[in-house]
Amino acid sequence: MIPLTLTQLTAAVRGDLRLSGSDTPDTVVSGAVDTDSRLIEPGGIFVAKPGETTDGHRFVDAALRRGAAVALVERPVEEAITQIVVPDAVSALADLAREVVARVRERGDLRIVGITGSNGKTTTKNMLARILEGEGETVAPRASFNNAVGAPLTMLRVTEDTRFLVSEFGASGPGEIARLAGLVSPDIGVVLMVGMAHAGGFGGIEATFAAKSELVRAIRPGGLAVLNADDPRVSAMAPIAAEGDVSVRWFGRGPDAHVRATDVEVTAAGTRAELEIDGQAVPLHLQVLGEHHVMNALAAIAAATALGVDPRDAVARVETLEIAERWRMQPLGSERVRILNDAYNASPDSMAAALRTLAQITRPGERTVAVLGAMSELGEYAGEEHDRIGLLAVRLGIQRIVVVGAEARRMFLEAVSQGSWDGEAVFFPDADAAYDYLLTELREGDRVLVKSSNAAGLRFLGDRLGESFS
């Protein structure tokens, strides 16, 4: 974090300063901010956030032992550490992020990009960060730090030398993206797609559209919206951009996109495409597997080139990305049995894309195996969406469909009803049972997709399989 005096820090979070030891109101604090006492470093600021299962106030002493200089608390604690008492620790974290980013923006040439969408946020964020790191100091979220805690923690990593801040905005309900993006008013907002992910929490696809469009409304006047020209719901956000004096830059596969892809080819070695970037032809060879990641690359390149990055430099840098993120189309195992562990998140769109990728990369003589778990947060749409995935797996000719967990059982039942009734589709109640089956079932030449939402826990099954067949 940038240096702030305790007086400035207290004012930013609208708290009550309680000094300890030799600290004075003019004492300067510049350490990193975190809600996890295990990650606190000397001089850091510990945010004692109450949680669902524990309370951060219990760990102030642990943070102090690791060298914390200040604790943001909702009630005074006994530990001998300077404290700032606030009504709500998460709100205070957001207030501090807003203040720090505003100060850095006033002093330099900081440019801020916000990214949202039902799928692809983390991959696009990683691609854009990889491109921008070649231009100057870039701050981007670790893993999927995109919620009310993760997004401000990322923002607080900016320094006076930071040129680019890439923020990823997720949401579990209406208004959340507006609150998070409103902390920084991005120069550029990227909207990837509007799909069924989290539709249960939003109340349907139209409510999801409204929530994702909150990012476009948060872009500062004179800024830029980078929109998916191939998604009708995303392209419908163009009038919203115009209302806010925000211009639009399109990415997609169609002829009208500023950044477009043609001749896409997916293989086990990666994904190739021909790009046209503002009329300039540039070939692309992604190491990241999956045709759907071409759209993520287009979005990242569209944002980067809008920030002045040379198109060929942007493409060359995104090509160096080997995987999108751990547990996202992560190749494991060996050439004998290749495991694709894509079980960090799952929605109907990403599940379908992963299954298509499995079918595309499998060569004659090899066998497709899909290990599938539940898709979370679909609410009333869960049943029909799991049915559709079971149907798609059969239509794609997936040769072994292994469904894991009671919440995913309808995928198995639909696959059986569509013709996979002679052992092609099997069901197991838990990952351990599925693992035991797969150890004996998998054979040389198998290409195995492991796909589920995070809550289903199949990412660890994917890791176990990858180790067993390495």
Q: Does the annotation place 123 within a ligand binding site?
A: yes
Q: Does the annotation place 121 within a ligand binding site?
A: yes
Q: How far apart are CA 152 and CA 137, in angstroms?
A: 18
Any idea how long the chain is? Answer: 470
* Phi then psi dihedrals of residue 226, to 5 deg: -100, 110
Q: How far apart are CA 404 and CA 434, in angstroms?
A: 7
Q: How far apart are CA 150 and CA 92, in angstroms?
A: 13
Q: Does the annotation place 118 within a ligand binding site?
A: yes
Q: Does the annotation place 173 within a ligand binding site?
A: no
* Phi then psi dihedrals of residue 8, to 5 deg: -65, -40
Q: How far apart are CA 344 and CA 452, in angstroms?
A: 7
**Strand 70-73 vs strand 82-85: parallel, antiparallel, or unpaired?**
parallel
Q: How far apart are CA 157 and CA 141, in angstroms?
A: 9
Q: Does the annotation place 117 within a ligand binding site?
A: yes
Q: Does the annotation place 279 within a ligand binding site?
A: no
Could you tell me which of 330, 266, 336, 258 has the C-alpha nearest to residue 301? Answer: 258
Write out the two tokens for 432.
């351990």
Binding-site positions for ATP: 117-123
Binding-site positions: 117-123
